[in-house]
Amino acid sequence: METNSQKPRSYRADREGFAFVLDRSEVERLKALPEFEGREEPAVAEDFLRFHAEGWADVLTSAGAEPGEIQVSIDPHQKKARLTRSQRIVITADI
Protein backbone atom coordinates (compact mmCIF):
# COMPACT_ATOMS: atom_id res chain seq x y z
CA MET A 1 0.00 0.00 0.00
CA GLU A 2 1.40 3.34 -1.03
CA THR A 3 1.58 6.17 1.43
CA ASN A 4 2.03 9.82 0.61
CA SER A 5 1.32 9.20 -3.07
CA GLN A 6 0.31 12.12 -5.23
CA LYS A 7 -1.75 11.82 -8.36
CA PRO A 8 -0.54 13.81 -11.36
CA ARG A 9 -2.33 17.04 -12.18
CA SER A 10 -2.94 15.81 -15.71
CA TYR A 11 -2.42 12.82 -17.99
CA ARG A 12 -0.89 12.98 -21.43
CA ALA A 13 -0.76 10.80 -24.54
CA ASP A 14 1.40 11.73 -27.54
CA ARG A 15 0.46 10.55 -31.04
CA GLU A 16 1.57 11.79 -34.47
CA GLY A 17 2.73 15.15 -33.10
CA PHE A 18 -0.41 15.73 -31.03
CA ALA A 19 -0.28 15.80 -27.24
CA PHE A 20 -3.68 14.92 -25.76
CA VAL A 21 -3.97 16.26 -22.20
CA LEU A 22 -6.62 15.16 -19.70
CA ASP A 23 -6.73 17.13 -16.43
CA ARG A 24 -7.64 15.45 -13.13
CA SER A 25 -10.97 17.31 -12.96
CA GLU A 26 -11.87 15.72 -16.29
CA VAL A 27 -10.83 12.29 -14.99
CA GLU A 28 -13.41 12.72 -12.22
CA ARG A 29 -16.06 13.39 -14.88
CA LEU A 30 -14.91 10.35 -16.82
CA LYS A 31 -15.14 8.17 -13.71
CA ALA A 32 -18.77 9.30 -13.26
CA LEU A 33 -19.76 7.57 -16.52
CA PRO A 34 -21.25 4.09 -15.99
CA GLU A 35 -18.67 2.34 -18.19
CA PHE A 36 -15.81 3.81 -16.12
CA GLU A 37 -17.45 3.71 -12.70
CA GLY A 38 -15.32 2.04 -10.07
CA ARG A 39 -12.09 2.38 -12.05
CA GLU A 40 -9.22 4.09 -10.33
CA GLU A 41 -6.58 6.58 -11.32
CA PRO A 42 -4.19 6.44 -13.01
CA ALA A 43 -5.43 3.40 -14.93
CA VAL A 44 -8.73 4.91 -16.05
CA ALA A 45 -7.07 8.05 -17.45
CA GLU A 46 -4.15 6.26 -19.07
CA ASP A 47 -6.36 3.58 -20.63
CA PHE A 48 -8.86 6.15 -21.90
CA LEU A 49 -6.16 8.23 -23.60
CA ARG A 50 -4.35 5.18 -24.96
CA PHE A 51 -7.58 3.84 -26.48
CA HIS A 52 -8.66 7.14 -28.10
CA ALA A 53 -5.46 9.05 -28.93
CA GLU A 54 -4.62 7.23 -32.18
CA GLY A 55 -8.11 7.70 -33.62
CA TRP A 56 -8.21 11.35 -32.60
CA ALA A 57 -4.78 11.95 -34.15
CA ASP A 58 -5.95 10.34 -37.41
CA VAL A 59 -9.07 12.53 -37.52
CA LEU A 60 -7.13 15.70 -36.74
CA THR A 61 -4.45 14.90 -39.33
CA SER A 62 -7.11 14.15 -41.98
CA ALA A 63 -8.78 17.48 -41.19
CA GLY A 64 -5.48 19.31 -41.71
CA ALA A 65 -4.98 20.29 -38.06
CA GLU A 66 -1.48 21.34 -37.07
CA PRO A 67 0.21 19.11 -34.48
CA GLY A 68 0.37 20.48 -30.94
CA GLU A 69 -1.22 20.24 -27.53
CA ILE A 70 -4.90 19.31 -27.43
CA GLN A 71 -6.92 19.64 -24.22
CA VAL A 72 -9.47 16.86 -23.64
CA SER A 73 -12.65 17.69 -21.72
CA ILE A 74 -15.43 15.26 -20.88
CA ASP A 75 -19.15 15.94 -21.24
CA PRO A 76 -20.70 13.18 -19.13
CA HIS A 77 -24.27 14.09 -20.13
CA GLN A 78 -23.70 13.70 -23.87
CA LYS A 79 -20.95 11.07 -23.43
CA LYS A 80 -18.61 13.12 -25.60
CA ALA A 81 -15.00 14.20 -25.44
CA ARG A 82 -14.31 17.75 -26.58
CA LEU A 83 -10.85 18.32 -27.98
CA THR A 84 -9.78 21.94 -27.79
CA ARG A 85 -6.77 24.02 -28.68
CA SER A 86 -6.42 27.54 -27.34
CA GLN A 87 -9.95 27.32 -25.93
CA ARG A 88 -11.47 26.56 -29.35
CA ILE A 89 -13.18 23.24 -29.99
CA VAL A 90 -11.32 21.30 -32.66
CA ILE A 91 -13.54 18.20 -32.67
CA THR A 92 -16.17 16.53 -30.52
CA ALA A 93 -15.98 12.74 -30.33
CA ASP A 94 -18.14 10.01 -28.85
CA ILE A 95 -16.72 8.27 -25.83
pLDDT by residue (tens digit) across 52-84? 999 999 999 999 999 999 999 999 999 999 999
Backbone dihedral region for residue 8 (phi beyond 0: left; psi -120 to 50: alpha; all else: beta)? beta
Question: How many domains does one find in the chain?
Answer: 1
Q: Classify residue 83: in a domain, yes or no.
A: yes
User: What is the span of the domain harbouring residue 39?
Assistant: 10-94
Helices (H), the chain: 24-31, 43-62
Q: Classify residue 2: in a domain, yes or no.
A: no
Q: How far apart are CA 63 and CA 27, in angstroms?
A: 27
Q: Classify residue 40: in a domain, yes or no.
A: yes
Give the pLDDT band (50/70/90) at residue 2. very low
Give the pLDDT band (50/70/90) at residue 1. very low
Q: Classify residue 31: in a domain, yes or no.
A: yes
Q: How many residues are given for the chain? A: 95
pLDDT higher than threshold 60 for residue 36: yes
Q: Classify residue 85: in a domain, yes or no.
A: yes
Q: Phi then psi for 27, rounded to 5 degrees?
A: -65, -40
